[in-house]
Chains A and B, each alone.
Chain A
């Protein structure tokens, strides 16, 4: 028990520390905090008074570490701190709520089975929150401890940079001004290394260079003696000269320049090294004196031998820059002067050199005491040390792993109960007096934090609360408030998913003409798309400012943060749609830079992907579908489709509104996770989906019968019997479509293949006219799509009939056959090898009654069985399609063969499943989730943001 108490104290301490370290003054300028707060405000001291979007925070951290740029330690620290604060607030909220409930047991833990007296609401909401919080923690843990890769960039290398910085800073920040010297933007030492040490450190990025800077500014660095100083300095000077000459050689562009360099090289090589060293060394020494005298603050950064090295190297490097920067003639002239000068003249030369170097002047200006608001006083130094220490501590905290949510809650629930000795009650039986709307909002928002998707549901309910709470509208805000309410009303209609789903048949102003939310449509007449978009953007900017002003006012009837955010989000949605319509890039978005920009970018990418896929298909490139992991990458599919433009879905709705966009925003993972019991909220979400789907399907059926059929195949809502593997294949096709890799016509053609190879569907499968002709080939996991060209028209059909009847024109060419046929009966879709191979296989499996049984005998996995069955069916269908004169008897035989294949396939699957069940140690769970299950697993969702 003592250990538990100690742990709880530790958790509390850590959490409190983390919370205290989130510095709004420092971080709000680095990260857009509003983006990560779904509702409420950070100003609200109540843990339940704000709602975080955990996934956005984690997504931002991912971007920070995987962008390919060196990570910004400060921004990383701020984001991590925000996440820790979100984590802490959620923990605190749930501690308060669970401590008083009967859902937590005596140890403060939530048991795996719901206690009988635990209310459903608390139970369900806690688990949903836990699921989301744990998921974000898991993503961060993976990001910070493993090598997550994106576009060739790995998180481990970024983390290494951060840890290096932290390790270098932490032990020394207290005693030196290393941070000040090595600051990447202002640090004089860092700037010197970057500016002058081009040969040594030219390839280093800023983080690496900063590490080198820390190394050179440690107070423990010592110089052994004067000898070291001189030796180091002279060597540096000699190297500097060599560098200068080599640089001239390498940069010479004209033969004239080459002649100059070779001649100065002749002078250098004909002097003894001692002469060169002496003269150059004297020059450097004089320069160092000049530099040190004038740049003392900068000189104080480097320590020990690095101070010597830096000073000498800087001096000679400065000479190089002087030479090269001023041109070869100037450099050679200068060097000639040096080589001829006596030692006594060197000081004068150095002074001139230092004074005439533009770089030196620039640095001197910046380093002069008080310049650019920077001082080097002792007081500032103390402040700097404190800041360095704080920065180091913050980064160290940011780099710590996220605590386990459940354990933290349990430990603190115990602590709270011990402290307060509160009575536990079933919260369903009463109204919570302690946690009001804020708490409720927090719970819902924690759900929302999982993704943008949850926003609609939670915001709808929070909006009711907020509207109610702001119901005592004051008359101090008059006309403006009215106009805002009008916007809100418009946008509410625009936002409503049911309303949206009905749009395709009815249409509304908000959806049909989103521009009317911003400007009068008649003002746009005659304008170019760019002009229209500019007018809309300008109006949106003003409207946005209006909303923000109303939400930031101190008046009691001000717009709540939630209301304002919803309005702004909806304006962003409308703007994104308008940008898509008018072909404007997302980069022209308004200043707030909200997440919708990313959505628009994704949309643009989707269009590209669709175009690429279309192009590929038209070139008869196989579009391979993996035969495993039917719903893999579902999360990314959602992300892509969410931002997809009308290009991909024109066939569905014929509007600028994406069909998928209109889907109710529901967190599928929370639905999937709530296996124990479906709460009312989850049930409502599911009902919303069903309702939407019904309406949308009806609408789509009216607009495009073939699309409706395609959709029904996916959901298997036809009355036909259909096998599990066919459903799986259909699911895979639909995923490709959702990702935007294939368009609806291509998907339709692929579905066609699955249908015709599914024996049970053969008799009833409907072939649709699409732009693509689908031909099964020998690889069952590959679909060959051939672009047909012009769709079949009555004229085309007439021509086909006329040609086939013979006498009225030339026989059809193969191309014409292809063009006018969407039937699998034509041999043009098959090459000779495919036909011959199919005949061989059909002959083999027809040889005896046990032939097909043998085909499946050696297969050991379900996937193998399913794939082999597909392959055999394709062979049979190929034979059926290509035999020139297939009699009814032969057709019947082939049908029989297909049925046998299916039968043997099912037997083989039963055999495998029986074996698995016999060998599985704990067969508690259902053996396997059907591969066609469209609901993504929680883990899959982790991949998307």
Chain B
């Protein structure tokens, strides 16, 4: 990726979920396309080739250690009714409970987080968690963004550690805050 100029990488993914038009008479098969765009000046490098994992994108920076940007797109309609009807405290509590069920096994401790919820429209919600934890005696930080729609969602994460370059982390945080999401029905 170009590291000096302002650049946007734009990922467009067709979710596995195929939506049918409301009327049975129409045989047009619609597809929900969820995408995100991030304006970035950093030299993100995506895992490719054998290291690539289907449906997941993981970006790293060579200049620093532990700074990682990742995304995954999932065609899951089940979760939309919950996100669209529950208040953010409840959402947060349930997410945290789920995460904590893993922590003991994974050796995570001192996990804490804060949350924000932005409702863009009736069909788009962005839920964000910011937090930190200790793993292997090392302090780690994260930001998670859940872009929820009736058709599925995009999960994006930014992770860094205490060893990561603070300036690059700050730039990455700013860029991460400015991610834009879009959903289209085609």
- Residues of A whose CB lies within 8 Å of any CB of B are 235, 238-239, 241-242, 245-246, 249-267, 269-270, 273, 329, 332-333, 336-337, 339-340
| Given A263-B106, A269-B70, A242 contacting B98 (CB threshold 8 A) | no
Min Cβ gap B158→A in Å is 11
In the complex, the answer to whether B56 meets A262 with C-beta atoms within 8 Å is no
Which A residues touch B99, using CB under 8 A? 259-260, 262-263
| Given A249-B72, A252-B76, A266-B157, A257 contacting B106 (CB threshold 8 A) | no
In the complex, the answer to whether A267 meets B102 with C-beta atoms within 8 Å is yes
For chain B, which range describes its interface: under 10, 10 to 19, 20 to 34, or 35 or more residues? 35 or more
In the complex, the answer to whether A269 meets B101 with C-beta atoms within 8 Å is no
Which A residues touch B142, using CB under 8 A? 266
Asked if B166 is at the interface of the complex by the 8 Å CB criterion, the answer is no
In the complex, the answer to whether A257 meets B76 with C-beta atoms within 8 Å is no
| Contact residue among B51, B70, B79 (Cβ-Cβ distance under 8 Å from A255) | B79
Min Cβ gap A627→B in Å is 30
Asked if B184 is at the interface of the complex by the 8 Å CB criterion, the answer is no
Which B residues touch A259, using CB under 8 A? 94-99, 101
In the complex, the answer to whether A333 meets B74 with C-beta atoms within 8 Å is no
In the complex, the answer to whether A256 meets B94 with C-beta atoms within 8 Å is yes
Min Cβ gap B46→A in Å is 12
| Given A329-B101, A332-B105, A258 contacting B72 (CB threshold 8 A) | no
Which B residues touch A339, using CB under 8 A? 106
Bound complex: CA A337 to CA B107 (Å): 11
Which B residues touch A239, using CB under 8 A? 53-54
In the complex, the answer to whether A258 meets B95 with C-beta atoms within 8 Å is yes
| Contact residue among A254, A269, A332 (Cβ-Cβ distance under 8 Å from B56) | A269
Asked if B150 is at the interface of the complex by the 8 Å CB criterion, the answer is no
In the complex, the answer to whether A252 meets B79 with C-beta atoms within 8 Å is yes
In the complex, the answer to whether B105 meets A256 with C-beta atoms within 8 Å is no
Which A residues touch B95, using CB under 8 A? 255-256, 258-259, 262
For A255, the closest partner residue in chain B by CB is B94
Interface residues of B in 84-121 (CB under 8 A from A): 86, 91, 94-99, 101-103, 105-108
| Given A255-B82, A259-B95, A238 contacting B53 (CB threshold 8 A) | yes
Bound complex: CA A337 to CA B159 (Å): 23
Bound complex: CA A340 to CA B107 (Å): 9
For B155, the closest partner residue in chain A by CB is A262
Query: What 18 additional pairs, Cβ within 8 angstroms, besides A254-B94, A254-B98, A259-B97?
Result: A239-B54, A242-B53, A249-B72, A250-B16, A251-B76, A252-B76, A253-B79, A254-B82, A255-B95, A256-B94, A259-B94, A262-B95, A262-B99, A264-B106, A273-B51, A329-B101, A332-B102, A333-B105
Bound complex: CA A250 to CA B78 (Å): 9
Bound complex: CA A241 to CA B51 (Å): 12
For B142, the closest partner residue in chain A by CB is A266
Can you report 21 A-B residue pairs in the complex whose CB atoms are below 8 A from each other? Answer: A239-B54, A242-B56, A250-B74, A255-B83, A255-B94, A255-B95, A256-B98, A259-B95, A259-B99, A260-B99, A262-B99, A263-B98, A264-B102, A266-B157, A269-B68, A269-B70, A269-B159, A270-B68, A273-B47, A336-B102, A336-B105
In the complex, the answer to whether A262 meets B144 with C-beta atoms within 8 Å is yes
Min Cβ gap B4→A in Å is 27
Bound complex: CA A263 to CA B70 (Å): 13
In the complex, the answer to whether B101 meets A249 with C-beta atoms within 8 Å is no
Bound complex: CA A260 to CA B105 (Å): 12
Which A residues touch B72, using CB under 8 A? 246, 249, 265
Asked if B55 is at the interface of the complex by the 8 Å CB criterion, the answer is yes
Q: Is the interface of A mostly helix, strand, loop or mixed?
A: helix
Min Cβ gap B133→A in Å is 10
Asked if B58 is at the interface of the complex by the 8 Å CB criterion, the answer is yes
In the complex, the answer to whether A253 meets B159 with C-beta atoms within 8 Å is no
| Contact residue among A255, A329, A340 (Cβ-Cβ distance under 8 Å from B91) | A255
In the complex, the answer to whether A246 meets B47 with C-beta atoms within 8 Å is no
Bound complex: CA A265 to CA B57 (Å): 12
Min Cβ gap B36→A in Å is 16
Which A residues touch B68, using CB under 8 A? 269-270
Asked if B50 is at the interface of the complex by the 8 Å CB criterion, the answer is yes
Which B residues touch A336, using CB under 8 A? 102, 105-106
Which B residues touch A242, using CB under 8 A? 53-56
Binary contact track B155-180/A, C-beta < 8 Å → 1, others 0: 10101000000000000000000000
In the complex, the answer to whether A246 meets B102 with C-beta atoms within 8 Å is no
For B94, the closest partner residue in chain A by CB is A255
Which B residues touch A340, using CB under 8 A? 106-107
Interface residues of B in 42-77 (CB under 8 A from A): 47, 50-51, 53-56, 58, 68, 70, 72, 74-76
| Contact residue among A249, A260, A269, A332 (Cβ-Cβ distance under 8 Å from B58) | A269
Min Cβ gap A273→B in Å is 4
In the complex, the answer to whether A260 meets B101 with C-beta atoms within 8 Å is yes
In the complex, the answer to whether B105 meets A337 with C-beta atoms within 8 Å is yes
For B74, the closest partner residue in chain A by CB is A249
Bound complex: CA A252 to CA B155 (Å): 14
Which B residues touch A333, using CB under 8 A? 105
Bound complex: CA A430 to CA B65 (Å): 108
Which A residues touch B102, using CB under 8 A? 260, 263-264, 267, 332, 336
Bound complex: CA A251 to CA B108 (Å): 25
In the complex, the answer to whether A246 meets B157 with C-beta atoms within 8 Å is no
Which B residues touch A265, using CB under 8 A? 72, 155
In the complex, the answer to whether A256 meets B97 with C-beta atoms within 8 Å is yes
Bound complex: CA A256 to CA B98 (Å): 4
Bound complex: CA A154 to CA B78 (Å): 37
Bound complex: CA A267 to CA B99 (Å): 11
Which A residues touch B106, using CB under 8 A? 263-264, 267, 336, 339-340
For B140, the closest partner residue in chain A by CB is A270
Which A residues touch B53, using CB under 8 A? 238-239, 241-242, 273
In the complex, the answer to whether A246 meets B54 with C-beta atoms within 8 Å is yes
Bound complex: CA A821 to CA B69 (Å): 83
Bound complex: CA A245 to CA B94 (Å): 19
Min Cβ gap B155→A in Å is 6
Min Cβ gap B35→A in Å is 18
Which B residues touch A258, using CB under 8 A? 79, 95, 98
In the complex, the answer to whether A250 meets B76 with C-beta atoms within 8 Å is yes
For A334, the closest partner residue in chain B by CB is B105
Bound complex: CA A252 to CA B159 (Å): 23
Q: Which residue among B96, B106, B142 has the maximum number of chain A CB atoms within 10 Å of its CB? A: B106
Bound complex: CA A873 to CA B139 (Å): 97
Q: What 10 A-B pairs come out closest when comparing CB atoms?
A: A259-B98, A336-B105, A259-B95, A255-B94, A260-B98, A273-B51, A263-B99, A256-B98, A263-B102, A242-B53
Which A residues touch B56, using CB under 8 A? 242, 245, 269
Bound complex: CA A249 to CA B103 (Å): 18
Bound complex: CA A418 to CA B102 (Å): 90
Bound complex: CA A256 to CA B107 (Å): 19
Which A residues touch B79, using CB under 8 A? 252-253, 255, 258
Min Cβ gap A341→B in Å is 12
Min Cβ gap B45→A in Å is 13
Q: Which residue among A246, A261, A263, A270 has the maximum number of chain B CB atoms within 10 Å of its CB? A: A263
Bound complex: CA A256 to CA B93 (Å): 8
Which B residues touch A250, using CB under 8 A? 16, 74-76
Min Cβ gap A258→B in Å is 6
Bound complex: CA A883 to CA B39 (Å): 81
In the complex, the answer to whether B78 meets A253 with C-beta atoms within 8 Å is yes
Which A residues touch B98, using CB under 8 A? 254-263
Which A residues touch B107, using CB under 8 A? 340
Which A residues touch B108, using CB under 8 A? 263
For B96, the closest partner residue in chain A by CB is A259
Which A residues touch B70, using CB under 8 A? 269
Which B residues touch A264, using CB under 8 A? 102, 106
Which B residues touch A332, using CB under 8 A? 101-102, 105
Which B residues touch A329, using CB under 8 A? 101
Bound complex: CA A600 to CA B9 (Å): 66
Min Cβ gap A841→B in Å is 38
Q: Which residue among B47, B78, B83 has the maximum number of chain A CB atoms within 10 Å of its CB? A: B78
| Contact residue among A235, A255, A270 (Cβ-Cβ distance under 8 Å from B159) | A270
For B97, the closest partner residue in chain A by CB is A256
